Structures are given as structure tokens and as C-alpha cells.
Structure 1
Amino acid sequence: MPQQPPSDRRNQIIAELQSDLAHAHRIIQQQHEQINQLKEQLQTKTRLQRDSQFVNQEISNSQPSSHSAIPPNKTLIRGRKRVFSSKKSASKLTLLQFTSLVAVIVALMTGIGFALMRRQNSSPSEQTKTQSQAVPTVPKPQASISPTTALTVPSLPPIKSPPQILPSQIALVNSELVYNPQTAPNFQKSPALQSIVDEIVSLAISKGLPKKPLSITLIDTKNGGTYGAYQQDAPRFPASVVKMFWMVYLYAQIKNRILNEADFTPQLNEMIKRSDNNAASDIIDAMTKTESGKNLDEKDYESWLKNRKTINVFFQNAGYKKININQKTYPITDKKIYEPQGFDLKMRGDPKNPIRNKITTQQAARLLYEIYEGQAISSDYSQRMFTWLSIDSATRIEKRERQNPDEFNPVRGYFSESLPEDVNFGGKAGWTSTSRQEAAYIQTKDGKAAYILVVFAEDRAYASDKKIFPEMSRLVFERMTK
């Protein structure tokens, strides 16, 4: 991989720092909530101490003059003393936790201040270059994007929530946006690639996994877009893979000056890099002028629904037939929305057979192909999207051994876990308790092999199996690099 110029590396470091700052803001908000909880616990401690003093006084007053006479309720009184004693110890522990928490917040604020000071102390010319020339010269639309191209994302301002949508104030979204490629690429089926896909299916069967809920698309981007597939036209639930479609629709609005890219850089970082549902919700609200969790008038539902469907219309008009991607991913924790409600619930229809997001592996593979070929929206915006999707080798090495169940990990249990460290990799993974999905672009360091692999598996057996996707990926890599 060619070495980045010092200026590009400096800009990349600044962008990473600002991304970390945005994440730190969220952590601090969470710490504030914990502080409030600890304050309540301290107030409880004060009340307990007052009660303890009162009980001790009662005990003292109730002691008989003769030590030989034991009052009948002495055992009860001793029990009450033990209860207050244990509560007092718990309160001391809470105080220690509070002190530790304050220390953590002070450290965070110090780090933020240091990062901001470094940013402010950079020379005026460097600041101008970072803000106005964050993206270097990009290839022409007909040229594919090189994964080795040095690219820095725009600066990350603090995350802002989109304006609230008030009842009876839903304006219709511009539904005339046009996606660049109006028809799907004319991929030719390859017996060699089909043989590889058949091997993937056989691998799943050999592991005792069902093949009916499985869909696969494999595209060789080095040989004019030849492909192999298994049930690639079956619509399936995409989980968080849908977020790369939302990213493309967002850049369509940015290109047409409907939205400003700088306002959404933090949300893009959270939605794509961290697969954050809160950021994804903000992006959908802004793109469609809709909002979740509000008690809107029933007469506003048709306008609300039409706005949401503009995401579908945008891709359907470009040949993404029957695609449905207008429903949010849950939970949305910052709004305390843990499942669809209000209009979001109503649009799902019959609760026994709800309408859900549906994408085929062919559609996910096509979108990745158009991004990496510089065709999605425009060449420069395709390169920006390529950067968001990329997962560098250092990140892959770091996340390969992480096992935190509360952290989104696009490596462990997915394609890149089993690949060599020097491959160029980009994509989006998804997971639910009943499914596992991934769409990825893989290119060898020497550029001799480049392909797109998409696998959707809608079954609990795949959701709980963290080895099958890495094994599938390794099989494909070995065959494609022969």
C-alpha cells in the first residue's frame, strides 16, 4: 500500500480525533445520567443515616436498668441494626463509585481539551486544507476506485439531532431524485464462480446448517462482472446491511443540496463504522422529514408514509425491484424506542405477518459494485462511501479477538476474520437473534483478485454460529486467488 503524504496522514489523524470526540460526548452524557442516579443513592444514604440514628436512640431509650432482663423484642432490634449497618456499608461503596466516576469524567474532559487544543494549534493553512479539501482528486466515474487511495473524511462536528416534526406540519419530500445507474449491470454467469458458490452451500450443509434460508451472490470485479449465485433473488431481511443503502440515499440528497454533508458526518461515522441505530434513525428522519415516537394526527399518516417510501422509490426507479428499506432498525435507545411504535408500527401492517425491510443478495452486491466502480451518485461521493465502508487491517487485527457481546464487531464471526491482514476490505455486516448477513468487497494487496461476496442467512442456526461466515470467506478467498 503506498505511503500517505504527511499532510494526508495529519488530516486523517485529525478526523479520527474528532470522531473520537463525538463518541466521547456520548459517553459523557451517559456518565451524567449515572451521576444523577448516584446522587439519588446518596440522598437515600442520608435518609438511612438519619433513620439509623433514630433507631439507635430508640434502642438506647428502651434498654432496661437491669442487664439481666432481656426485653422480648431485642432480637428484632438487633436485626434492624444489622440491616442499617449493611445499608451503610453499601452507601460507602456507592460513594467510592461516585468518586471513581468523577475521576473518569475529569480524564475524559482533559483528553477532549487536549485534542481540541491540538486542533486549534494547527496552522491556518492546514485547517483550511482539512475543511475545504478533505477529499483528494478522485477517479473519473468510469474508473473503479482503488482501495489504496488515501482519503480523509470531512471534519466531525458535534452530533445534532434533526429538527422535530410537529403535528400537521409534514411537508412532502422531493421524490424526483434520480440514482445514477438506471439499470442493473449486465453480469454474465460464470461456471467457475458458480462452482465456488456450490461449494459454499455444501459447506453449510456439512455443518448441519439449512440451505433453504441461505442466499449468496459472488461477483468477480476483475473480469467484467462475472458472477455465481444461490437464491440471489429471494428477498430477505438485511438487518444492518440496509444502512449502506441509507448512506447512498443520503449522499443523493447531499449532491442535490437538500442536505449538508458536514451536518451528518458524525452520524455517518456512527451508523456505518459502529452500526449505531440512534444515528441511523436521525439520518432517516432528516432524509424523509419523518420522526418516530411522536403522537401525530391520523390525517398526517399518508404524508408521513409517502415521505418514508421515497427511499424505496429512489432505488426502485433504478431497477432495484421490490426493494423495501424504509423501516428503521431497533432499538433506538436515545429515544427509548425499543420496538416499532406509532406510525412505524402502523406501516408494518398485520402484526402476525408484518411488512419488514427486504433486500436480495443480488441488490446488495450490485450496490457495492456501483460504489467501488465509482458509479453511485458520483465518483467523488462513491469514494467517500468507499472510505466509510472500509475496515483497515489494524482494526481487523484489534477486533478479531474481542468478545464483548454489547459491542458491534464487524470482524469476529464475519468474513474478514479469516482473511490475510494485508487484504483491502470494505463492507457492512448485520446480525439479529434469528439471522446473520454480510456484504463485502475484498481485494488482494497486489490487486490481482477482487471480488464481492454477499451472504444472507435467515435462521437462528446461522445467527448463533460465529464460525460459518469466516469459513465461507476463507473458502472463497482461496479459490479466487488461485
Structure 2
Amino acid sequence: MAFYRPDLGMASYLESVLDDLDAEGRPGLRNSLGLTWVRYTEAAPQAGNGFGASWNHLRSLYPASVVKLFYAVAAERWLQHDLIPDSDELQRALREMISNSSNDATSFVLDLLTGTTSGPVLQGKRWQSWQRQRRLVNDWLTTLMWPELEHVNCCQKTWGDGPYGREKVFYGINNANRNLLTTAAVARMLEAIMTGAVVSPPACRRLQDFLLRSLDPELSRADPENQVDGFLGEGLPEDVKLWSKAGWMSQVRHDAAWWQAPGQPPMMIVAFSSGPDRARDEQLLPKLARALCKYDALTIFG
């Protein structure tokens, strides 16, 4: 059962949008896309009160930097239970990990969460212990008992060039142990953050601050890695407030976005697009957001 109420009108409209995007010269788009789209009727909704539609929302895909959203929530959970010490350095790392998608900051945060470090290959009991520790975030996600989290894997660092040493071995043969997420899992976590339904409301507000993006074109031009251009945020009206976390590398282009126009209920889209063609496609996600934003103007929400 989805965490939102399925809406047949939204599902039909989503099908037509995907048809149009495919017809623009994206053959096989449906096979390379996972998507969860949720709309709300209240300006300050509670978790689980949305209406939605999806496509391949339970397909496990490599999430790239979107996984950092889960590590940030885990850090707040660890802090809440005094499992790690708070510090200016941790707060700096969390902000850099989410706001600027820093891989170095992510490495620091995951080491702190799991008590592990990168380095040469380990053997025997030390290696077994290291692997158990590195899976602590997965262990915590299991305790949430969200069905959307059933087939996810959040245990790897994010890399610029790639893993070495024990990190490379931990990826497994053919990268079988790489991070995996679904758009349903990401959407539920993002909704929980934005509605104060995971960890504590103050912790959720801190995470929201990290996720807030500017849609000012001048600021975007000053920051080539702004997580707006080429992603969902580019397709949104400039008067909305946007909270998002993007992920991009040579094989994927993803985004998880929650936005709200003044005086209006919010909307959320989590879109994963995979394959080298999709990774290079800087117009797909903006066009997707632009089209789904038009739904309210085309129908009366019941």
C-alpha cells in the first residue's frame, strides 16, 4: 500500500506526459525512468495525506547523491539518541553534504555514523566487523518498518573517481552491494522530513534548511553545480519555494523535489532517470516538472 492515496486522474495525466516526453526523441523513456508524484490539498499537510501517481516507483536503482538525504536523517537520529557527539564540524559536513552535495563531507558523515573508515583491504574478524558496522544505517531504516524501504541499500560512500581498498571490495562482484533506492522510498523520506514525521520536528526543520534551493537565475549562474539547472527546479515558477536533493553522474540524473507556491498546497516529485542518454539529458527533468505543475490548471482537484 502506498503512503499516499492513488489518484486515477493523476495517473492518466502522468501517462500522457510520459508519452509526450518519449515522442520528443527519447525512445524507451519508460524503461529508464522511475517516478513518484504526490500532491496535497492543505498548505501544511500531515504525512500520508497526499494524492499521487507513479511509474516504476518500486524499481531499485543506483541513487547517486540522493542517498545523502538518508545519511542526513540518520545523523539526526544518532544525535537524538546521543550515539554521536554534535559539533560545528558535523553541522558543517551535513550542510555541505546536502546543500553542495560534497562527497568529502559524505565520507566524514558516514564514517561517524558507522564507526568505519576507508583504507587498505581488511581480513578476518576485522573485515567482518567493519562490514557489520557499515550496515548500521540499513539496520536503522529497517526499524522504521516502512514498506517502501524493503529493497533499499544505504551503506556506501559517494565518490568522484571511485572506491579503493576495502571500499572497493565492499562493493562486491559486479558492484552487487552498491547503494540502491526507489523513488517511493525517497518520496516517503522527503515527505517525512517536510512534514516533521521522522526524527524530531526541530531536526526536520534543520534538514529543511539544508534542502532549500534558490530559483534566482543570477545565483544559479554563479554556481554551476546548483542542483536546479538541469533538474526539476528549472521547470518550476520562480515564485515557489523549493526544497530538493539531486543526484547526477555519467549513468544517472535524479532529483527529489518538494515545492510550494505562496498560499498553495505543496507538491512533490521524485524522478530517477538512468542510462547515459538520460544522464546527458538536461531538459527531461525540467520539462517533467513543468508539465506536472500544469495539472492543477487543467483539472479540479477533488
What TM-score do you get using the length of structure 2 for normalisation?
0.89
- For residues 308-343 of structure 1, the C-alpha deviation after alignment (integer angstroms, 9 at most, x for no partner) is 111111112322102101011102xxxxxx321222
Which residues in structure 2 correspond to 1:131-142 (within 5 Å)?
A: none
2:34 partner amino acid? S
1:323 partner amino acid? V
List, as ranges, runs of 4+ consecutive aligned residues in structure 1 with deviation greater than 4 Å: none
Question: 2-side partners of 1:476 and 1:457: how far apart?
Answer: 16
Number of residue pairs aligned between Structure 1 and Structure 2 = 286
Question: 1-side partners of 2:181 and 2:134: how far apart?
Answer: 17
- Which of 342, 355, 362 is the aligned partner of 2:165? 342
- Which of 26, 41, 53 is the aligned partner of 1:228? 53
Give the CA deviation at 1:259: 2.0
Give the CA deviation at 1:397: 4.4
Which residues in structure 2 correspond to 1:316-335 (within 5 Å)?
A: 316-318=142-144, 319=146, 320-331=149-160
Please say which structure displays the higher CA radius of gyration: 1
2:152 partner amino acid? I
Give the CA deviation at 1:481: 4.9
Please say which of residues 237-246 and 189-198 is displaced more in the overlay.
189-198
1:415–1:469 Cα contact (<8 Å) kept? yes
1:361–1:456 Cα contact (<8 Å) kept? yes
1:283 aligns with 2:102: no
1:468 aligns with 2:287: no
- Which of 30, 34, 54 is the aligned partner of 1:215? 34
1:423 aligns with 2:249: no
1:222–1:451 Cα contact (<8 Å) kept? no
1:199 aligns with 2:20: no
Query: What SS does structure 2 have at the residue aligned with 1:427?
Result: strand
2:97 partner amino acid? M
**5+ long unaligned stretches in structure 1:** 1-183, 332-337
- Which of 242, 251, 258 is the aligned partner of 2:67? 242
Question: 1-side partners of 2:120 and 2:218: how far apart?
Answer: 42
Question: 2-side partners of 1:311 and 1:200: how far apart?
Answer: 36
Give the CA deviation at 1:345: 1.5
More helix by share: 1
- For residues 359-382 of structure 1, the C-alpha deviation after alignment (integer angstroms, 9 at most, x for no partner) is 000001000111111111011111
Give the CA deviation at 1:225: 1.3
The residue that corresponds to 2:249 in the other structure is 432
Closer, same or farther in 2 for the Cα pair 1:266/1:186, shift >3 Å?
A: closer
Question: 2-side partners of 1:474 and 1:206: how far apart?
Answer: 17
Question: 1-side partners of 2:17 and 2:131: how far apart?
Answer: 40
1:242–1:325 Cα contact (<8 Å) kept? yes
The residue that corresponds to 1:58 in the other structure is none
The residue that corresponds to 2:82 in the other structure is 257
The residue that corresponds to 2:99 in the other structure is 273
2:235–2:290 Cα contact (<8 Å) kept? yes
1:185–1:366 Cα contact (<8 Å) kept? no
Query: What SS does structure 2 have at the residue aligned with 1:384?
Result: helix
Which residues in structure 2 correspond to 1:342-421 (within 5 Å)?
A: 342-351=165-174, 354-394=176-216, 397-399=218-220, 401=221, 407-421=224-238
The residue that corresponds to 1:307 in the other structure is 133
Query: What SS does structure 1 have at the residue aligned with 2:255?
Result: strand
Give the CA deviation at 1:478: 1.6
1:316–1:322 Cα contact (<8 Å) kept? no
Cα RMSD of the aligned pairs, angstroms, is 1.8
Query: What SS does structure 1 have at the residue aligned with 2:213?
Result: coil
Relative contact order: is structure 1 or structure 2 higher (C-alpha 8 Å, sep ≥ 6)? 2
Give the CA deviation at 1:398: 1.6
2:116–2:133 Cα contact (<8 Å) kept? yes
1:442–1:451 Cα contact (<8 Å) kept? yes
1:270–1:279 Cα contact (<8 Å) kept? yes
- Which of 266, 287, 302 is the aligned partner of 1:450? 266
2:251–2:275 Cα contact (<8 Å) kept? yes
Give the CA deviation at 1:468: 1.2
Which residues in structure 2 correspond to 1:135-154 (within 5 Å)?
A: none
1:233 partner amino acid? L
The residue that corresponds to 1:46 in the other structure is none
2:6–2:51 Cα contact (<8 Å) kept? yes
The residue that corresponds to 1:61 in the other structure is none
Question: 2-side partners of 1:472 and 1:441: how far apart?
Answer: 14
- For residues 445-465 of structure 1, the C-alpha deviation after alignment (integer angstroms, 9 at most, x for no partner) is 122x31110110111111111
Question: 2-side partners of 1:199 and 1:428: how far apart?
Answer: 26
Please say which of residues 207-216 and 258-267 is displaced more in the overlay.
258-267
1:233–1:361 Cα contact (<8 Å) kept? yes
Which residues in structure 2 correspond to 1:26-41 (within 5 Å)?
A: none
1:270–1:276 Cα contact (<8 Å) kept? yes
Question: 2-side partners of 1:199 and 1:316: how far apart?
Answer: 36
What TM-score do you get using the length of structure 1 for normalisation?
0.57
Question: 2-side partners of 1:257 and 1:317: how far apart?
Answer: 18
